[in-house]
Amino acid sequence: MGIAGFGTDQGQAKADLRLIPYPPHVSFKGAPMRPLPSQFLHVAGDAQANTRVRAKIVADQLAACGIRVQVTASTALHGHQALFTSTPTVTKKWEQSCKPLRGLCAKPEGYRLTIASDGALIQGIDEHGFFYAGQTLRQLVEDGQEIPGMEIEDGPLLPFRAIHLDCRGWPPSRTCLERTIDLLASYKINVLVLEYERHFAFNSQPGLSSKDALPPNYLADLDLFALDRGVKLVPLQHCIGNLNYMLRMDPYKDLREDPRYFQMACPSNPATTDIFIAMAEDLIAAHSSQLFHIGGDQARFLGVCPQCKARSKQLGGRASLYLEYIGKLVRYLNSRNRHVMVWDDLFRNMSDQQVSWMPQDSILTFWNYSGHGGRATQAILPTLDRYKQLGRRVWGAASRLPTTKYENFDNIDAWTEAAEMGYLEGLLTTTWTREYALGPLLAPPEVAWPGALYAAERSWGGRKNATREEFLMRFASRFFGIVEPPVQQRIWGVYDLLVRDYPREAREVIHQVLPAARRNRETLEFIDAWCRMGAFNYYLKMFEQACAADYDHLQSGQADPFHAGRLYWRVEDLKSKIAELTQAFRAASGKISPSASCDEYLNSNLAYGIGRLDELAGLLEGYPSPEKEWQQPVKGV
* Predicted pLDDT of residue 386: 96
Each residue's pLDDT tens digit, 211-235:
999 999 999 999 999 999 999 999 9
Number of domains observed in the structure of the chain:
4
Average the pLDDT over 188-201 and give the result.
97
CA dist 508 and 528 (Å) reads 9
Residue 105 domain-assigned (yes or no): yes
DSSP secondary structure of 338-400: -EEEEE-GGGGGS-HHHHHTS-TT-EEEEE----GGGS--TTTHHHHHHHHHTT-EEEEEEE-
Measure the CA–CA gap between 477 and 362, rounded to whole angstroms. 39
Amino acid at the residue 420: E
CATH code for the domain of 254: 3.20.20.80
Considering the domain architecture, whether residues 177 and 261 belong to the same structural domain is answered as yes
Q: Is residue 5 in some structural domain?
A: no
**Mean pLDDT computed over 561-572:** 96
Alpha carbon of 20 to those of 24, 65, 138, 442, 473: distances in Å? Answer: 11, 17, 11, 28, 11
pLDDT in tens, 444-481: 889 999 999 999 999 999 998 788 888 989 999 999 99
Q: Considering the entire predicted model, what is its pTM?
A: 0.94
The more confidently predicted of residues 190 and 357 is 190
Q: Phi, psi at residue 427, to the nearest 5°?
A: -130, 120
| Average pLDDT of the segment spanning 297-324 | 92
**135 and 250 part of one domain:** no
Backbone angles phi, psi at 150, to 5 degrees: -165, 165
- Domain termination site, one of 103, 133, 154: 154
Residues 202 and 267 in one domain: yes
Greater confidence, 375 or 333?
333
What pLDDT does residue 1 have? 38
Instruction: State the pLDDT confidence band at 402, using cuts at 50, 70 and 90.
Output: low
Does 440 map to a domain? yes
**pLDDT tens digit string along 273-309?**
999 999 999 999 999 999 999 999 988 899 999 999 9
Domain boundary, last residue among 129, 154, 179: 154
Are 276 and 354 members of one domain? yes
Alpha carbon distance 325, 357 (integer Å): 12
pLDDT tens for each residue of 126-155? 999 999 999 999 999 999 889 999 999 999
- Shared domain check, 215 and 177: yes
Q: CB of 391 within 8 A of CB of 429? A: no
Mean pLDDT of 109-121: 96
The distance of Cα 311 from the centroid of its chain, to the nearest Å, equals 40
User: Are 252 and 346 members of one domain?
Assistant: yes
Least confident of 72-76, 100-104, 322-326, 441-445: 441-445
Residue range 570-587: mean pLDDT, rounded = 96
Sign of the Cα torsion 47, 48, 51, 53 reads positive
Band the pLDDT of 122: cuts 50, 70, 90.
very high
CA–CA dist 114, 118 (Å, integer) = 11
Place 379 in a pLDDT band, splitting at 50, 70 and 90.
confident
Q: In this predicted model, what pLDDT tens digit does every residue of 355-369 receive, in sequence order?
A: 998 888 999 999 998
- pLDDT value of position 3: 53
Could you give the CA distance from residue 299 to residue 311 in angstroms, rounded to a whole number? Answer: 16
DSSP, collapsed to helix, strand or coil, labels residue 332 as helix
Listed residue (416, 436, 435) closest to 426, CA to CA: 416
* Parallel/antiparallel/unpaired status of strands 25-28 and 160-166: unpaired
92 within domain boundaries? yes
pLDDT at 404 over 60: no
Q: DSSP assignment of 219-237, as one string?
A: HHHHHHHHHTTT-EEEEE-
Q: What is the pLDDT of residue 4?
A: 46
The rounded distance, in Å, linking the Cα atoms of 445 and 452 is 9
pLDDT of residue 5: 45
Secondary structure (DSSP) of 425-483: SEEEEE--S-SSTT------GGGGHHHHHHHHHHHHH-SSSS-HHHHHHHHHHHHH---
Helix (H) or strand (E) holding 154: strand 150-154
CA dist., res. 328 & res. 323, Å (int): 8
CA 509 to centroid of chain Cα atoms: 24
Same domain, 437 and 492: no
Q: Do residue 398 and residue 515 come from a single domain?
A: no
Residue 343 β-bridge partners:
365
For position 10, what pLDDT does the model report?
A: 62
Is residue 429 within 8 Å of residue 399, measured between CB atoms?
yes
Task: Check whether 30 has a pLDDT greater than 50.
Answer: yes
> Could you give the angle at the alpha carbon of 423 between the alpha carbons of 421 and 427, nearest 5°?
105
Provide the pLDDT confidence category of residue 498 given band limits of 50, 70 and 90.
confident
Q: Looking at residue 115, which CATH number applies to its domain?
A: 3.30.379.10
Q: Which of 154, 187, 202 is where one domain is finished?
A: 154
Q: Tell me what the pLDDT averaged over the chain comes to.
A: 93
Write out the residue range of the structural domain in which residue 136 sits: 10-154
Q: Report which of 158, 140, 225 is spatially closest to residue 456, judged by C-alpha positions.
A: 158
The predicted structure's pLDDT at residue 378: 87
**Residue 3 covered by a domain:** no
Q: Verify that 289 and 394 share a domain, yes or no.
A: yes
For residue 234, give the nearest of 183, 302, 296, 161 by alpha carbon: 161
Shared domain check, 282 and 189: yes
Q: Which is nearest to 191 in space by CA: 361, 376, 363?
A: 363
Q: Are residues 505 and 568 in the same domain?
A: no
Q: Is residue 2 part of a domain?
A: no
Q: Enumerate residues 6+ apart whose C-beta is below 8 A from 333.
A: 280, 292, 294, 339, 340
pLDDT at 117: 94
| Residue 552 pLDDT | 95
What confidence tier does 408 reach under pLDDT thresholds 50, 70, 90? confident
Say if residue 84 is in the same domain as residue 23: yes
Does 293 map to a domain?
A: yes
